[in-house]
Amino acid sequence: MGATGVSAKDERVEPAEVVTDQEETAAAPAPRRWSSLRVARRPRLWFELLLIAISYGTYSLIRNAAPDQVAEAQSNARWIWDVQDSLGLAFERGINHAAESVTWLIVAMNYYYATLHFIVTIVVLVWLFRSHPGRYGATRLVLFATTGVALLGYYFYPLAPPRLMEGMDFIDTATVHHTWGSLSAEGTAMASVSNQYAAMPSMHIGWSLWCGITILVLARPLWLKILGALYPVVTLLVIVATANHFWLDAVGGMICLAFGYAVARLWYGAFCYRMPRRIPPTVPDTGNAGKARNAGAQPS
């Protein structure tokens, strides 16, 4: 032992403590990286286009791969019709026949059913991307979670739409008027690749209500807010008049949308429309390296 009172054994302990500190420091950033996924970021166009393409492709694949259980789908349709009838709200057939008697109206509804479901949703997504980038990710997650949970209904609850119900006199308006308002109308090419018994829940309602709420909350012009409020209402009328859905399918779509909003709220910790509208171009580096750079940049 020397004059300093430090033994050789004590000197060998010190390097081990340094290595342990380095290992703990290296492991620390992992939770930060995970947490960063729950923070609003500036959306990237190429990533969003790729994500939408992959998600819609997967959605279509799973939806159309659901078991084609015709007997069960017919039984479920009859059960829903009986439930609505017991409530005194089995009004789909009356609306279907009334709309069919006005040719220009029902043809317009057929094309509305086939096109606006996609067009309006894409337009709202683009608007969010450009004008509300800080809210885009969370609001897009609402739509994706809504669509994802809807697949459970398609897979586990096959349901014949009114136009395909046996023993009923619903009119398949797309077939009668030779329009493509119903993408899976019997006798068409789409019928062989599309699941005709995936009617519950209605994503026409889920998506249109998402669009309507988003426009109503975030848009500034009053006329645009009014259009946003009317869009899901008109969509409900269209899906019933064309005999593509029961009104209870619309309720299913609303439940799925509520689930989507809950997922986004839990993930981001805030309601999607209350998040900051814009994200700064650069995100400050909060790591040790960033602190060191900031300290070095301070004036002497």
Residue 244 lies in a domain: yes
Please count the structural domains in the chain: 1
Tell me if 130 is assigned to some domain. Answer: yes
Contact (CB, 8 A) for 162 and 244: yes
The pLDDT of residue 96: 97
Structural contact between residues 106 and 242, judged by C-beta atoms closer than 8 angstroms: yes
Give the pLDDT confidence of 158-193 residue by residue, as tens digits. 999 999 999 899 999 998 998 865 555 555 545 555
How high is the pLDDT of residue 290?
43
Whether 227 is covered by a domain: the verdict is yes
Residue 22 has pLDDT above 50, yes or no: no
Does any domain span residue 64?
Answer: no
Residue 284 lies in a domain: no
Closest-CA residue to 146 (of 228, 44, 234, 255): 255
Structure tokens at 64: 């159309």
Which residues, in sequence order, are CB contacts of 251 under 8 Å at separation 6+? 201
In this predicted structure, what is the pLDDT of residue 64? 64
Considering only residues 173 and 288, tell me which one the structure prediction assigns the higher pLDDT: 173
DSSP state, residue 283: P
Higher pLDDT, 79 or 282: 79
Q: How far apart are CA 269 and CA 132, in angstroms?
A: 18
What letter represents residue 65's amino acid? A
**pLDDT per residue as tens digits for the range 96-135:** 999 999 999 999 999 999 999 999 999 999 999 999 999 9
**Closest C-alpha among 110, 115, 119 to residue 238:** 110
When pLDDT is averaged across residues 278-298 and rounded to a whole number, the result is: 50
The pLDDT assigned to 21 comes to 40
Identify the domain containing residue 210 by its residue range. Answer: 92-277
Does any domain span residue 67? no
pLDDT the model gives residue 55: 72
Q: What pLDDT is stored for residue 299 in this prediction?
A: 38
Residue-level pLDDT at 282: 55
User: Is-contact 211 120, C-beta < 8 A?
Assistant: yes
Residue-wise pLDDT tens digits, 32-77 = 555 555 666 666 766 777 777 777 777 667 666 655 688 899 999 9
Among the listed ranges 48-57, 139-148, 254-263, which one has the minimum average pLDDT value? 48-57
Q: Does 85 map to a domain?
A: no
- Mean pLDDT is lowest, of 253-262, 273-282, 285-294, for 285-294
Q: Is residue 172 part of a domain?
A: yes
Question: How confident is the model over 201-251, as pLDDT tens digits?
Answer: 999 999 999 999 999 999 999 999 999 999 999 999 999 999 999 999 999
